[in-house]
Structure 1
């Protein structure tokens, strides 16, 4: 075959995603005009990668175009359906409705390509992908979603004010939550560093109290200096308290424990769970405006605050 008849392999969206350091879903959204939740910096990076590689989207991808419908997709795969997420969705739905848009919530285990296919099928105006939070472009660069997952400095500051200098992060031993949990872990470490703490080790706990108790026993042997545990969410904080009870430990005397998200059942446990409450409904409204490309003036959420109970 002559040189002139040889064809270079066709550049795909996956190639653009790899070159720009984002997800394939995000590439699809950016190049087809449905990227209201993606930062301008990330959009430019994706477009530059596409230009450099010579990427040409196929015809079916053009179905995903901004304004093609009044549907906004929210993917919540792997995100615990606690009170914070419920309030977030209510705010998101209400704000979209006020701008004559409809929210479609997806709960399934979708690949990036499957999510892109759904978005194309309904000609989505925008997609908010909480299930892809490990990609900085999908979550960490959107102001509202950053606030929803972040504010990790709140429990750290609270524990430091209570005299704790050795704080550990408690994360779930769950593949479905590894992306969001990884983000929370990084933010907790940043908050600990800002507070001047020497270290912020991570304790990964399974859901069963006895197994969690053995994991906690081993962790305390390795990190006897730790006096406080900041859990990924309230559910995991309650597993932590159950594991402590299994070992004969008390909160906060032996270990202080603080949760995140202020779910209703935290107040019913003994000891009652100290936790962090977010203004998740306002965050949902901000996300709605971000997705539609509208200004978010006047929608600043109330700061996250600690609900002080008995455990920490």
Structure 2
């Protein structure tokens, strides 16, 4: 088995014996220690021996060498892990890997182990949470030597601060796209309360644009991912006085529930009700009609988050304000 010697983990001592050198030489070669005059032939012999034995330095050894762990612990709230969140996790993994850091994800979905058990076991260099978590937990992490504790949405610093990633511009982009042709907008709110940390600021973005443009307050209705129950919300929008004619949906899943409800009533977007979503999931192009949606640059978000962590670990001054999150609208037939 690779990485073992007689059923145990391969050590630097095994590599030293295989290469016929001292353990110190193995350490100097594998860690690329500067100012060590080691012949190139010896270096090759050490690397060849390590490859034959399947040797990999332990995380503990790396931490001793560098003075910190190479793990960034990502804390996921109890959210559905769907296309966009999965893509963001992969892009965060790639962004941290470029800085020789490992992104390790832990979900709080029941019956996950308590957060404190996780970070005490892993002892990460940094913690990046997608959602706010108790300040007492953040204090305990910092007391244990975890150098960076950040939350994308909300604060882990004990006081209000702008989020690292702002959701308001998404709702604002939706409202501006619809406002030229629609004088009354509705907002399709998700029926999962735990998504409120995302839904509330998106709705606030819609509200601010409506206020700026002199439009009525958006008509907000919760849309379950259930065609029959979504029909009731669509009926209420159409029966309002004046009627709602454009819908900003929390995301593409909610937007497609609105489209299905319209079809159930013998109606169609955008003629009877224009609909715009968020995320550009693969099914958006397959909807009937194809869904207009806001697309965010999750790779830019991931790189921005990784950069904030790296700057903090290296004690550099971090930029003020949210990470730049370029948005564009993929215009299709629904709006």
CA distance in 2, matches of 1:194, 1:269: 32
Describe the SS at the equivalent of 2:333: coil
Following superposition, the deviation at residue 296 of structure 1 comes to 7.5
Unaligned runs of 5+ in 1: 1-66
Provide the TM-score with structure 2 as the length reference: 0.63
Describe the SS at the equivalent of 1:225: coil
Paired residues in the alignment total 241
Q: How does 1:245-284 map to 2 (within 5 A)?
A: 245-284=263-302
CA distance in 2, matches of 1:114, 1:73: 14
CA contact (8 A) 1:72 1:103 kept: yes
Q: Which residue of 1 aligns with 2:173?
A: 154
CA contact (8 A) 2:170 2:294 kept: no
Q: Which residue of 1 aligns with 2:191?
A: 173
Aligned with residue 190 of structure 1, among 201, 208, 222: 208
Following superposition, the deviation at residue 284 of structure 1 comes to 0.6
CA distance in 1, matches of 2:116, 2:176: 39
Aligned with residue 331 of structure 2, among 294, 308, 312: 308
Q: Which residue of 1 aligns with 2:77?
A: 77
Cα distance change, pair 227–250 in 1 and its aligned pair in 2 (3 A): same
CA contact (8 A) 2:290 2:334 kept: yes
CA contact (8 A) 1:279 1:301 kept: no
State yes or no: 1:141 paired with 2:162. Answer: yes
Provide the TM-score with structure 1 as the length reference: 0.68
Q: Which residue of 1 aligns with 2:244?
A: 226
Q: Which residue of 2 aligns with 1:291?
A: 309
Cα deviations across residues 179-223 of structure 1 (Å, max 9, x unaligned)? Answer: 322232223322332343221121111111011112322343345
Describe the SS at the equivalent of 1:154: helix
Cα deviations across residues 287-307 of structure 1 (Å, max 9, x unaligned)? Answer: 11212326778xx85721110
CA distance in 1, matches of 2:306, 2:110: 22
Describe the SS at the equivalent of 2:259: helix
Following superposition, the deviation at residue 73 of structure 1 comes to 2.0
Larger radius of gyration: 2
CA distance in 1, matches of 2:152, 2:326: 24
CA contact (8 A) 1:236 1:259 kept: yes
Cα distance change, pair 231–103 in 1 and its aligned pair in 2 (3 A): same
Shift >6 Å, 4+ stretches: none
Aligned with residue 207 of structure 1, among 212, 217, 225: 225
Describe the SS at the equivalent of 2:278: coil
Describe the SS at the equivalent of 2:170: coil
Describe the SS at the equivalent of 1:259: strand
Describe the SS at the equivalent of 1:152: helix
Cα distance change, pair 79–190 in 1 and its aligned pair in 2 (3 A): farther
Aligned with residue 236 of structure 1, among 254, 270, 275: 254
Cα deviations across residues 144-199 of structure 1 (Å, max 9, x unaligned)? Answer: x226x7432211111123x2221111111123323322232223322332343221
Cα deviations across residues 82-141 of structure 1 (Å, max 9, x unaligned)? Answer: 443333223321221111111112233269x93344223322222222244896325972
Cα distance change, pair 224–118 in 1 and its aligned pair in 2 (3 A): farther
Cα distance change, pair 124–189 in 1 and its aligned pair in 2 (3 A): farther
